[in-house]
Amino acid sequence: MVEEKIDDDLLVQLHRLEAFIGNTPLFPLGNVSHKPGVHVYAKLEWQQLGGSVKARPAFNIIKNAILAGKLNRERPLLDASSGNTAIAYAAIGAALNIPITICLPQNASEERKLLLTAYGAEIIYTSPFGNTDEAQEKAQELYEKQPEHYFYADQYGNEHNWKAHYEEGTAKEIFEQTDGKITHFVTGLGTTGSFVGTGRKLQQLNPDIRLTSLQPDNALHGLEGWKHMETAKVPRIYDEGVAHDSLEIDTEEAHAWMVKVAKKEGLLISPSSAANLAGAMKVAERIEQGHIVTLFPDSADKYGEVVKQVFSNGQ
């Protein structure tokens, strides 16, 4: 790919947007966690530009591509996504006037499709049965056909994904927000950047911090964005050696936590956020003292049908 001169105006806009990425609040979950001596917290990751935890890697990937002269306002960013990274790319791309092309599984929620359209992204749909694995194959195919036309972001293999959480990002925020008291970090595996990057840095800040990864308990799960590692295409950025422990989460269990958190904490969280909390609470059951931190990757805003189903069941 031919690298081009960086647009000064684009650099100014990039610097302006950086203030709206990350720096999310840490929410104490004192009403759903009652065990004496054990404190559970969640980072409210939807409170940043792009509306989810994926704003961090999306911005870092875009920033480094621009600085390397690989991405500009004439060359579209191309990637595959189940939804949240796509929306983050699209929101940031809209603010920077950079075109975005996304390969998206057809079964992504209608809210996600609407948001991508609103932000002006080009959507290339793939089979609802292939999930993000097939979407990745399609993105790779498009790039191989037109390598000079696209910047292929490749979130599943791009080191700037996990580094968004490692370099002055998620891990440092968590450590500072807990005054260094964090003892356990727990989160689910999707692209795996959140877990790998945050976990690596937390271990450097304090080697005693325990890291627990989460994944669905079967391949036919309902946790959008999560990967069942035994059956899915494993992201190249994943490092299985980062985790001290791994737990499996049932989709229905996550749905039950959506209801509990709404009624007890006043937060409407997504299924993946609720699954993260389910994992954090499992860790809480096993210890007598500690400060457990998990991520709430996004809110329930983009999961209309799931929310209707979960809350109409009156769990």
pLDDT over 60 at 3, yes or no: no
Taking a C-beta distance cutoff of 8 angstroms, is the pair 161, 238 a contact?
no
State pLDDT tens for residues 173-230. 999 999 999 999 999 999 999 999 999 999 999 999 999 999 988 777 767 777 788 8
Look up the pTM and report it: 0.94
Cα separation, 226 vs 22, whole angstroms: 21
Containing 3, the helix (H) or strand (E) segment is none
CA separation (Å) from 89 to 128, 158, 169, 181, 266? 21, 14, 18, 33, 29
Higher pLDDT, 132 or 186: 186
CA separation (Å) from 261 to 112, 138, 272, 300, 303? 23, 38, 13, 11, 16
State pLDDT tens for residues 37-51. 999 999 999 999 999
pLDDT over 60 at 315, yes or no: no
Cα separation, 109 vs 264, whole angstroms: 27
Instruction: State the pLDDT at residue 156.
Output: 93
Instruction: State the pLDDT at residue 2.
Output: 46
Going by the DSSP 8-state scheme, the letter that residue 300 receives in this structure is: G
Residue 123's DSSP bridge partners are 102
Q: Tokens representing 37?
A: 């001596």
Going by the DSSP 8-state scheme, the letter that residue 104 receives in this structure is: E
Instruction: State the pLDDT at residue 1.
Output: 46
Instruction: State the pLDDT at residue 138.
Output: 95
Taking a C-beta distance cutoff of 8 angstroms, is the pair 33, 42 a contact?
no
Q: Tokens representing 95?
A: 């603010």
Instruction: State the pLDDT at residue 110.
Output: 87
State pLDDT tens for residues 287-297. 999 999 999 99
Among 81, 223, 76, which residue's Cα sits nearest to residue 152? 76
Q: Tokens representing 66?
A: 């621009």
Q: Compute the mean pLDDT over every residue in the chain, rounded to the nearest whole number.
A: 93
Higher pLDDT, 7 or 291: 291
Among 54, 79, 75, which residue's Cα sits nearest to residue 66? 75
Taking a C-beta distance cutoff of 8 angstroms, is the pair 264, 296 a contact?
no
Taking a C-beta distance cutoff of 8 angstroms, is the pair 60, 66 a contact?
no
pLDDT over 70 at 271, yes or no: yes
State pLDDT tens for residues 79-108. 999 789 999 999 999 999 999 999 998 988
User: Environment class of residue 43 by beta-carbon count within 10 Å: exposed (0-12), middle (13-18) or buried (19+)?
Assistant: buried
Cα separation, 77 vs 99, whole angstroms: 6
pLDDT over 70 at 236, yes or no: yes
pLDDT over 80 at 283, yes or no: yes
Going by the DSSP 8-state scheme, the letter that residue 26 receives in this structure is: E
User: Environment class of residue 29 by beta-carbon count within 10 Å: exposed (0-12), middle (13-18) or buried (19+)?
Assistant: buried
Taking a C-beta distance cutoff of 8 angstroms, is the pair 272, 188 a contact?
yes
Main-chain phi, psi angles of 152, to 5 degrees: -85, 110
pLDDT confidence tier of residue 109, bands split at 50, 70 and 90: confident
Instruction: State the pLDDT at residue 279.
Output: 97
With a pLDDT cut of 90, the percent of the chain lying above it is 79
Mean pLDDT of 261-289: 97
Cα separation, 129 vs 241, whole angstroms: 30
